[in-house]
Structure 1
Amino acid sequence: MTFSIAAHQDGRFGIAAASSSPAVAARVVHLRDSVGAVASQNITDPRLGTALLDGLAAGAGPREALDAVVDGEPDIDYRQLTVVDASGAAATYSGALTLGVHGEATGPHCAAAGNMLSRPGVPEAMCEAFGSAGGELEERLLAALAAGLAAGGEAGPVYSAGLSTVSANGWRDTDLRVDWQEDPIEALRGLLGVWLPQRDDYVRRGLEPAASPGYGVPGDDR
């Protein structure tokens, strides 16, 4: 019921995900500054995202960190996981009880996976799209998510989508969600078009408030 991609670009990490379930990004997305990106999905246990990021932070590579979580988790057959680290190395896991048609793929600086898919090649199409897309990390993630949908996506309709990134500032500098709409990926595209030109201003407001630009709304007299 989910397809997602985790990726790294120029020291930044991000994840984009879509699902037939509501609020997919609230459960799937796990990001940590300067450490990595992890997607935890299928019959989702969000705690596994934290465990994988802890493994990367302790010095393990993606495969080593993933193997440690797989070996230590009694319900791992229900889980689907992807992980990307700061070098761009990636690894994936799909348990034996992953739902429906499922697949996973890795590419340079990215990993994708999906379950209850229309066909198993959807994650590969997502990694290919990420690799060929230009622009900001957010734009490349959205291109990959759209490519996953175009390649067949889920076997049924999707209703939620999300896209988040971190850039070593101490918080998610992009964190967008569409939690229940008929065309959530297109709605996410619209949100990103509004957000991306303002993203760096909001980062500056956090880091340098005295030098930050005004909000341009009634009541802001700077």
Structure 2
Amino acid sequence: MTVFSSPRRPAQVALALATAVGIAVAATGCGAGHGTEDADVAASPAASTEQPAAPSPEDAQPGQCGGATIDDAAPVTRSTEILIDAPLDVVWDVQTDVEAWDEWQDAVLTVKRLDDGDFDADSRFEWTTPVPESDFAPADTLVITSGVQELEPGKCVLWEGPAIGEAIQIDRGVHLWTFTETDEGTLVHTEESWDADILAALEGPDHDAVAGMLGGGLDIWLEALKTKAETI
């Protein structure tokens, strides 16, 4: 993804972006992805507090859907997973009923399908998420257009797409979800990649902070999915 329209130094812009839209991009395939470059970032709450525990993000294995996965070469990638005490079909239906996201995800303001029929490998949807005001940027609203690239019903889905606001523009993010039935419930694993020149310039603590923000957004999404699915 590419971020434009800011005179701030790269680290400030990237951290502002991650803080503001970590949850949103965590949902977009534009909205974390896996990658050894993020191994020094602390394990996310969603992966570290569930028992029986799913592997931490650092230990989680990369996944695929229809032979496709996130952009492993992207500057920032992240992964996490959570065990949900609900049947796989319930978890799958909640996550893929994108038109109802705003009912259980605080980060989603509006959402609409851009195609008709069942949610499938050709589905597209548009949704909006708020970007709160920060020291680095004014309040904004991102309009995210996500297109499904791969889908295996009840098993996995991969989507990607841009997010566009007045001050922030994200050219591309890729998001993979996999669903596995276990004796304890449904294991949901998610990976995401962010690609932008501004992110490629980050090193050390700045890079780790952005990766951590992305991972945190994914954890929040998974916790909300868990709460919703376990109450059905």
TM-score (structure 1 length as normaliser): 0.30
- Higher helix fraction: Structure 1 or Structure 2? 1
TM-score (structure 2 length as normaliser): 0.29
Higher RCO (C-alpha 8 Å, min separation 6): 2
